[in-house]
Chains A and B, each alone.
Chain A
Amino acid sequence: MNNSRRWDHCLIYKIIEPGSSVLDLGCGSGELLARLVKKKQVCGQAVEADPARVAEAICNGVDVYQKDMDLGLSDFKSGAFDYVILEKTLQVLYQPMVVLEEMLRIGKSCIVTFPNFNYRGVVDKLMETGRMPVTGALPYQWYETPNIHLFTLLDFLAWVDEHEVEIIDSYAWSNNSSRPLDLPADSREAEEMLFVLQK
């Protein structure tokens, strides 16, 4: 879990240009954005719904606007940020694709990361045991998972295709390392993905 969390932080840190403006949606305790503000001099704004995490993020030195993304992102103007980031959150949202479309409106580029439900580690576990898999990227029992919209890499690519969204960059986390996405193999091999999108 910690390794895979670090992998997308590392990549995002590399991707983001110094001095750019960044909106981090669902920032948690704000570690990533704090680092970007400090080390890459970005102009950062975070959004987080949970008051305890908002407080934590303010204490970590980032500007956080408390808001439940599922209630809409109309508070942000079109093209207001160079980057909009959404890490491992798509699958917990009530309206994931509305949020993704909003991200594409607000950001010149969007960075999303999410787990692939078709990863062989997940599917094999399901097939072998007949029980909902608990893995590094999906670390919850079925009754406590916040993940309400589980989807696969190919589901996501189909959506991207239908909505004429441009993929600028794509990476996979597989076998405890990150690398550029390799299709079709990664449909089964990638545990998590990172996409840079534009519209």
Chain B
Amino acid sequence: MLSLKRKRGMICPIRPAQWAGPGLKGSFWPIKKTPLPLDCGEYLYPVTVEYETYGKLSSARDNAIFILHALSGDAHAAGWDAEWEKERRPWRKGRPGWWDEMIGPGKAFDTSRYFVVCANLLGSCYGTTGPWERNPGTGKPYGLNFPVVTVEDWVRLHIRLQDYLGIEKFLAVAGGSLGGQQALAWAIKDPERIRSAVIMAASARIGAQGLAFNAVGREAILSDPCFQEGQYYQGKPPQGGLELARMLGHITYLSQRSMEGKFGRRFQNGTKPGYRLNREFSVESYLQHQGRSFVQRFDANSYLYLTRAMDYYDAASSAGGDLEASCAIIKARLLLISFSSDWLYPPEDTREVARAVLANHKPVSYLEIPSDYGHDAFLLETNKISPLVTSFLGRGVKYE
């Protein structure tokens, strides 16, 4: 049985009464009084982080692995959340954590060996400080007054959590998609704090096509009449806009082949055209379902902030655009995995990172897994990924 420890740790202390997330309760641990500096030049205070841990930290504190979630993820990476009702998170009913197939006893991130940590991202909406939270300066939710956060800001905050947990070095940091970007960012930003990184379906940066999709998604939210400059928390949220953004996003997570296989040109009802404009094909119905269930569990402002962080991330930026030079600082062993049908983070872009590491005379593992699942493969091809991760982690710290 997977034991789950949920904690909502407070990085900067404030009287609990002032911290009032919608329907969220928890215990707080004051960590540091220092406000969190952000890349945009602002400081954030207070900051709350919701995280979960699985497994047991060894007495040497050397078996910890940090799991990094992607755009719509949360700290609930594995196991079943018994408190879904109490915490008003009905979407967790009957569903395990988002990477449950990878995390647990005997699984790739083996919780009988490793201490696994996963934290919700700054700017997201699952317990960690974000635009939905009350701005202590105004007493109202931040909304669009929330500072723009970056992938590097997330690493900075996660390192504070690392300090709080008393972990000098993570055995590994691992994630897919935006989680993979964070793993790479960590390897470059603070090479001394991690021993290895598992990076899947991610690259040094998203290209113009990815930027374009994110822009349209945000535009859908911003143009929803309910958006109200981001101050919609007292009224009706911009569900239509967020739904559209999610539908568009979902197309980029699948592949042409997976969509053909899953839906083809099938009609939702019957076999003949109904000569109508609303939902007709099963792919339409699927996307709409995805959009509708997403708005039940996600905050539109968070979507704006997280996609912006995804846009800004560029692994080469620490060395003036020279990826090879920015990878020179990396000390972690890297396992890079791409998926053949991923067109959001195409294999060639993941390979570019491997090549930059090789150019610095550092060993690297890079594999393109043949898969029809598109970008989502990092969540679905767990049978193919697991043995790779298991043996990669099992090798410990050889290259130090």
Q: Using a CB–CB distance below 8 Å, which chain A residues touch chain B?
A: 21, 37, 43-45, 51, 54-55, 58-61, 63-66, 75-77, 80
Query: In the complex, what residue of chain B is closest to A48 when comparing beta carbons?
Result: B367
Give the distance in Å from the alpha carbon of A54 to the alpha carbon of B385 in the complex: 12
Q: Which 8 A-B pairs have the closest CB atoms?
A: A63-B363, A59-B391, A63-B365, A75-B355, A54-B367, A45-B363, A65-B366, A58-B388
Instruction: Report yes or no: A75 in contact with B391, Cβ–Cβ below 8 A.
Output: no
Give the distance in Å from the alpha carbon of A59 to the alpha carbon of B394 in the complex: 10
Q: Does B86 contact A (CB under 8 A)?
A: no
Task: Knowing A55-B387, A65-B354, A76-B358, say if A37 contacts B367 (CB, 8 Å).
Answer: no
Instruction: Report yes or no: B387 in contact with A59, Cβ–Cβ below 8 A.
Output: yes
Chain A interface secondary structure, helix, strand, loop or mixed?
mixed
Give the distance in Å from the alpha carbon of A80 to the alpha carbon of B368 in the complex: 24
Q: Which residues of B contact A44 (CB under 8 A)?
A: 363
| 18 cross-chain CB contacts under 8 A | A51-B369, A51-B370, A55-B367, A55-B384, A58-B365, A59-B387, A59-B388, A59-B390, A59-B391, A61-B394, A63-B363, A63-B365, A64-B365, A64-B366, A64-B367, A65-B365, A75-B354, A77-B359
Across the interface, A63 reaches (CB within 8 A) one of B333, B361, B387, namely B333
Query: In the complex, what residue of chain B is closest to A52 when comparing beta carbons?
Result: B370
Q: Which residues of A contact B367 (CB under 8 A)?
A: 51, 54-55, 58, 64, 66
CB distance from A171 to the nearest CB of B (A): 28
Q: Does B247 contact A (CB under 8 A)?
A: no
CB distance from B207 to the nearest CB of A (A): 20
Q: Which residues of B contact A76 (CB under 8 A)?
A: 358
Q: Which residues of B contact A77 (CB under 8 A)?
A: 359, 361
Instruction: Report yes or no: B363 in contact with A58, Cβ–Cβ below 8 A.
Output: no
Chain B interface secondary structure, helix, strand, loop or mixed?
mixed
Number of chain B interface residues as a range: 20 to 34
Q: Which residues of A contact B398 (CB under 8 A)?
A: 37
Instruction: Report yes or no: B391 in contact with A43, Cβ–Cβ below 8 A.
Output: no
Query: In the complex, what residue of chain B is closest to A57 when comparing beta carbons?
Result: B365
CB distance from A134 to the nearest CB of B (A): 31
Give the distance in Å from the alpha carbon of A2 to the alpha carbon of B364 in the complex: 30
CB distance from A187 to the nearest CB of B (A): 39
Instruction: Report yes or no: A75 in contact with B388, Cβ–Cβ below 8 A.
Output: no
Give the distance in Å from the alpha carbon of A59 to the alpha carbon of B355 in the complex: 21
CB distance from A182 to the nearest CB of B (A): 38
Q: Does B43 contact A (CB under 8 A)?
A: no
Q: Convert B319-363 into 0s and 1s, putting 1 for each residue whose CB lies closer than 8 angstroms to a CB of A.
A: 000000000000001010000000000000000001100110101
Instruction: Report yes or no: A65 in contact with B361, Cβ–Cβ below 8 A.
Output: no
Q: Which residues of A contact B364 (CB under 8 A)?
A: 45, 63, 65
Task: Knowing A37-B398, A64-B367, A75-B355, say if A80 contacts B361 (CB, 8 Å).
Answer: yes
Residues of chain B in range 263-309 having any CB-CB distance to chain A below 8 Å: none
Q: Which residues of A contact B355 (CB under 8 A)?
A: 75
Give the distance in Å from the alpha carbon of A131 to the alpha carbon of B387 in the complex: 44
Q: Does B91 contact A (CB under 8 A)?
A: no
Q: Which residues of A contact B370 (CB under 8 A)?
A: 51
Q: Convert B45-57 into 0s and 1s, putting 1 for each residue whose CB lies closer than 8 angstroms to a CB of A.
A: 0000000000000
Give the distance in Å from the alpha carbon of A55 to the alpha carbon of B381 in the complex: 13
Give the distance in Å from the alpha carbon of A164 to the alpha carbon of B252 in the complex: 53
Query: In the complex, what residue of chain A is closest to B338 when comparing beta carbons?
Result: A66
Give the distance in Å from the alpha carbon of A55 to the alpha carbon of B355 in the complex: 18
Q: Which residues of A contact B384 (CB under 8 A)?
A: 55
Q: Does B395 contact A (CB under 8 A)?
A: yes
CB distance from A98 to the nearest CB of B (A): 19
Task: Knowing A64-B365, A65-B364, A66-B367, say if A55 contacts B388 (CB, 8 Å).
Answer: yes
Instruction: Report yes or no: A58 in contact with B368, Cβ–Cβ below 8 A.
Output: no
Q: Does B84 contact A (CB under 8 A)?
A: no
Q: Which residues of B contact A63 (CB under 8 A)?
A: 333, 363-365
Instruction: Report yes or no: A66 in contact with B368, Cβ–Cβ below 8 A.
Output: yes
Give the distance in Å from the alpha carbon of A37 to the alpha carbon of B395 in the complex: 11
Across the interface, A58 reaches (CB within 8 A) one of B354, B361, B392, namely B392
CB distance from A62 to the nearest CB of B (A): 8
